[in-house]
Chains A and B, each alone.
Chain A
Amino acid sequence: MTFNYQKSNSGLRKVKEAGPSSLPNGQDKFETIFKVSRKTFNYICSLVKDDLAKGSSLTSTDGKVLSPEDQVAIALRRLSSGDSLHIVGEFCGVNHSTVSIITWRFVESMEERAIHHLKWPDNKEMEGIKSKFERIRGLPNCCGAIDTTHIVLSLPSVEASKLWCDHENKYSMVLQAIVDPDMRFRDIVTGWPGSMNDFLTLKTSRFFKLCEKGKRLNGKKVELSEGFEVREYILGDMGFPLLPWLVTPYQGKDVSGCRVEFNRRHFATRVVAQRALARLKDMWKIVQKVMWRPDKHKLPRIILVCCLLHNIIIDRGDEVQDEMPLSHQHDSGYRQQMCQAVDKNGLVMREKLSQYLSDRLPP
């Protein structure tokens, strides 16, 4: 499939036909503008082109009909730059309302056609995930890392209720993600208002219920020492409760000895979740910038599609991810939340893990 640039005056055409110097800010590469390689771009087009070809045809400002590939390019530009509809429209040579329509068509289509890129791993896949996590810092039987970030909103005064006001006095929407060692999102929850903290977001999630009922993270146990097995679990920071299936670090200043070492390994392993969220926001800036009066029913779906795009880049082995910086700061201006809820079985499990790592592994 080729990318068809038909518009005589559009920025899309400039990308293809003009030299690098004609593009603003040195944006001389396809990947810089669309945040995906041509290979991945073509794959995305193959997913959604049928949907985008349906319905009324959309045209550029000079009257040319926009092909599905053009529409994908415009939608990707909108999601990756986070620029306003007007700026994206001007860049692509289409009316701002066309940008809005195309973006939403793209989101709806991706929800349906690309949702298989975000799923909880099956047993076979999980074995590989556990193995990769263990290779990081030796934590056995670990199935994922969980973290939460905030999508900051700017709300009109009539909607600016306390509900959307988080603990940093910003209006925001919550995104909770469980991530595998390749920084692939495996489970997300989003749409809840910013006033919900990490624990509440987790508690309202289906994942929590499934785990509590023993229907998730219920795979093969690993024997650490004689008479003690460790079940499947995920790692989370101090904003989450300590549970038999969710291991958090030791808290407090008095932590010492093997517990310090455990916390170090714990952080090194769970940092993939922070990096994934940081990369998500860095790559798809529509969820990084302060959203100006968003439709709060559409925003979760946009966030989901950004997560899908994030996973597609990983699944396709897109080289663009190699050029992204490995930051783990995804929630700038937000303090670490603290949750004091602990489960006694979670405590026992953490102690055993800590002891095991202390005894068996080099620092």
Chain B
Amino acid sequence: MHCPTIPGAHNWLDKLRSSKGFPLDNGLNLENFLKSSSPSPNPNFSGDVSPPLLCHSPENSLNLINASGFSATKRDPGAWFDIMTDVLSDLFNMEGSYDFRRLRDSRDRKNGRKQSRPRICALSAEELPNFSARNNADNNSGVGGGSRDDADVDISSCSRTEVTVIDTSIATWKSEKVIYRKAHVWKVRERKGNSCGKGRGGESLVLKKRRLGQNKKGQDGVGISASTECLDDQDRRFQRRQICLASPEAEKKQAFSSISNAGNLVYLNKDWCEDGSVDVLVVIWWAIGKRENNGEALATYYKGLVSLPIYLVSMLLVRDQVCSNVLKPRTRNGFSDVLIHWFSEPALLFK
């Protein structure tokens, strides 16, 4: 923590106290503080310093100040207690420091809303989850800005819960989110493949992106292919593209060449597709780095080989919907970036 140089501050404690906004010479040393650790029985609640966990979010531009007024010098003993609690919390990482405030608040605040004699629920910082939400490439996710850096928590160690959220301020008012939660740390992500929610106007997100020319890489570093259009399947949940079956020979060769050069594994047993047991070929591709166009090339290649409707689906869209035991990555030389599978029932993919 950077402590600015305070005139008259002689030692680290003085500097620390000065940096926290209270005078050096007021007799409020640690011993006094401990002696007065029971704050006044009737503190002005609104004089509390706002809990930092709730409020210190640069994204929402909340300019948090002392709620009782505009001067920080007229703090009551309860406020001093809060300040010292915060200081000690900063110094010694006292996670329980907010307990003091919570206990005090729960004693002092009463105000009715939903019951004639309501009990007060003063949520302390401990009870409030550290909430972090991130938008995907789209701006319509309706997820607020994060309150702390995402990078400090490994998402793989968090519990994962999928929720469907209705937010009528979003054009596509229905969206599916994934909540990653570990203790009091939350992260919210847009669920992959969740871009076709119905809504006012009925225009899908991906179609909108295509129309607006916003086909940019998502934050995962995985691109969304321009060839992935949004259509409605029976559930109207996923995007697919039916590709014309006829293909010039030259185009087929070029496509195959492109795939080979990219080092992807092409896995296709033509007989499987044309023995009558398969109604449709679903090409699922997983683009990595600069290879995001390979999915389109794959589809171009396949359309010359099989007389089946082909659905090209980005792995980005189905990654979270497909059971891992259904799609087994085919690997070659320890590298796998293309998954190909076909189903007689495409709906299996989308369950």
Chain A residues near B (Cβ < 8 Å): 111-112, 115, 118-120, 161-163, 167-168, 187-193, 195-197, 199-200, 203-210, 212, 216, 237-239, 241-243, 249-255, 274, 296-298, 300-301, 303-304, 328-345, 347
Contact B114 A209 (CB under 8 A): no
Contacts A205-B169, A341-B50 aside, 11 further interface pairs with beta carbons under 8 A come to A192-B163, A192-B165, A203-B144, A212-B61, A241-B62, A249-B111, A254-B45, A329-B115, A331-B114, A333-B115, A343-B62
Stretch at the interface among B85-93, B125-133, B211-219, B287-295: B125-133
B112 proximal to A (CB < 8 A): yes
Task: Tell me if B166 is interfacial: C-beta within 8 Å of chain A.
Answer: yes
A338 engages B109 (CB within 8 Å):
yes
Q: Across the interface, do B111 and A303 meet the contact criterion of CB distance under 8 Å?
A: no
Whether the pair B64, A204 counts as a contact (CB closer than 8 A) is no
- One of B42, B54, B111 near A341 (C-beta < 8 A): B54
1/0 contact string of B130-146 vs chain A (CB within 8 Å):
01010000001011110
A227 to chain B, nearest CB (A): 18
How distant is the Cα of A344 from the Cα of B61 in the complex, in angstroms? 11
Check B188 for interface membership: any CB of A closer than 8 A.
Answer: yes
Q: Is B159 an interface residue (CB 8 A)?
A: yes
Verify B62–A243 contact, CB threshold 8 A.
yes
Query: Given A301-B166, A332-B114, A338-B120, A252 and B62 touching (CB < 8 A)?
Result: no
Q: List 27 A-B contacts (CB under 8 A).
A: A111-B198, A167-B127, A188-B167, A190-B166, A197-B128, A199-B54, A204-B144, A205-B167, A207-B169, A209-B145, A212-B59, A212-B61, A251-B67, A253-B45, A296-B164, A297-B162, A297-B164, A298-B164, A300-B174, A303-B166, A328-B114, A334-B115, A340-B54, A342-B65, A343-B62, A347-B65, A347-B70
By a beta-carbon cutoff of 8 Å, the part of chain B in contact with chain A is 42, 44-46, 48, 50-51, 54-55, 57, 59-65, 67, 70, 105, 108-109, 111-116, 118-123, 127-129, 131, 133, 140, 142-145, 159, 161-170, 173-174, 176, 179, 181, 188, 198-200
Across the interface, do B169 and A187 meet the contact criterion of CB distance under 8 Å? yes
The residue of chain B having its C-beta at the shortest distance from the C-beta of A278 within the complex is: B114
The prevalent SS among residues of B at the interface is: loop
Contact A329 B114 (CB under 8 A): yes
